[in-house]
Amino acid sequence: MDISLDNFQGPMDLLLHLIKKKEMNILDIKLEVIIDEYLNYINSKEQMNLNIASSYLVMASELIEIKSRMLLPNEDIEEVEALKENLINRIVEYEKYRNLIPSFKQLEKERLNYKTKSPSNILEYKPDFHMISDLTVNTLIEAYKNLLIRLEDEKPISTKVTKKEISIESQVLRIKEKFKTEKRISFDKLFEIKTKPYIVATFLAILEMTRYGEIKIYQENGFGTILCEVI
């Protein structure tokens, strides 16, 4: 059965196909038979005026060299055997990688079930602040940085490994619960757990609530405590 070159991924793929077609063991193939099969295949395509990729022609010239040196009586046998062994090793190596393709395709298919998000620039969350002083978003970001610095300096009372993720939405709900009992809360007091994921999610939740006009953030004086107040 004639098979178009387009069905192969390259000359190694074609060689492997011919070996399997002849039901040969790769490590014990009759190389002269496979070389003839390969060259006949290429010649048939040329006679059909099909364009053949240069990689197939390079392999054909390599096979012709091996075959011619096998036929010459005075040729160095060890050198010829080395050429044959090199070719067989390349075919074996190619088959190993080719057999891995289904596994990689399955992994790629499974990966499509997961969604990822690129890191965001924190300035994208810059809200329209409701201020009663000259507090700016840079002041708020500076306060956030100071929290992270204190986090590095403080040793946790207890530590455990957890896979639970802290979402911005859950922190918004938590902050709203706190405002049910207190109308005004210090910015620092909203960060009850001193872990980086918790602090990041809480900070973004505060910005989100400010952007939608649910709370306002201000200072009563120039270097005073940053306060959050429900609107």
Ranking 84-93, 124-133, 160-169, 181-190 by mean pLDDT, the lowest is: 124-133
Sequence-ordered strand ranges (E) for the chain? 184-186, 215-219, 226-230
* Phi, psi (rounded to 5 degrees) for 92: -60, -45
CA atoms within 13 A on the CB side of 155: 1
Report DSSP state, residue 167.
P
Q: What per-residue confidence (pLDDT) applies to 28?
A: 76
Contact 114, 125 (CB under 8 A): no
Q: What per-residue confidence (pLDDT) applies to 1?
A: 37
Q: Which residues contact 143 (CB under 8 A, 6 or more apart)?
A: 187, 188, 226
Tokens read off for 205: 């939740």
Confidence of residue 2 (pLDDT cuts 50, 70, 90): very low
Q: Which residues contact 86 (CB under 8 A, 6 or more apart)?
A: none
Q: What per-residue confidence (pLDDT) applies to 152?
A: 66
- pLDDT at 51 exceeding the cut of 70: no
Domains of the chain, residue spans: 5-111, 122-230
Chain-wide mean pLDDT for the chain? 79
- pLDDT at 131 exceeding the cut of 50: no
Q: What per-residue confidence (pLDDT) applies to 153?
A: 56
If DSSP codes are grouped into helix, strand and coil, which group holds residue 206?
Answer: helix
Indicate whether this model's pTM tops 0.85. no
Q: What per-residue confidence (pLDDT) applies to 172?
A: 92
Ranking 121-135, 167-181, 201-215 by mean pLDDT, the lowest is: 121-135
Confidence of residue 8 (pLDDT cuts 50, 70, 90): confident
